[in-house]
């Protein structure tokens, strides 16, 4: 029954190709982002849950005081 319904839709053969391209495009983009990301920034972000609200970076306002 489903085969007859799907064959009656014009242009249905394009949707699996578009879905596959979106799937691979997303993961290729993710790999490119991972290679280009700043490692120091990622280390800083990874440590955020361990600081309990304390900031280790000294702001410019605190340096002038």
Render pLDDT for 3-35 as a digit per residue (tens, 0 to 9). 778 778 888 889 999 999 999 999 999 999 999
* Backbone Cα Rg of the chain: 24
pTM of the model: 0.56
Distance CA 6, CA 47 (A): 51
Place of tokens 């997303």: 26
pLDDT confidence band for 47 (50 / 70 / 90): confident
Which position has the higher pLDDT, 65 or 46?
A: 46
pLDDT for the residue 9:
81
Domain with 12, as residue range(s), is 2-64
Contacts of residue 47, defined as CB under 8 A and 6 or more positions apart, other chains included, come to: 56
φ, ψ of residue 12 in degrees (nearest 5): -65, -25
> What CA–CA distance (Å, rounded) separates 20 from 13?
12
Q: How confident is the model at residue 65 (pLDDT cuts 50, 70, 90)?
A: very low
Number of domains composing the chain: 1
């Amino acid at each position: 029954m489903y085969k007859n319904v799907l064959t009656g839709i014009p242009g249905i053969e394009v949707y699996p190709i578009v879905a596959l391209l979106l799937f691979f495009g997303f993961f290729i983009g993710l790999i490119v982002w991972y290679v280009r990301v700043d490692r120091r920034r990622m280390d800083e972000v990874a440590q955020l849950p361990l600081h309990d609200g304390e900031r280790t970076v000294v702001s410019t306002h605190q340096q002038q005081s």
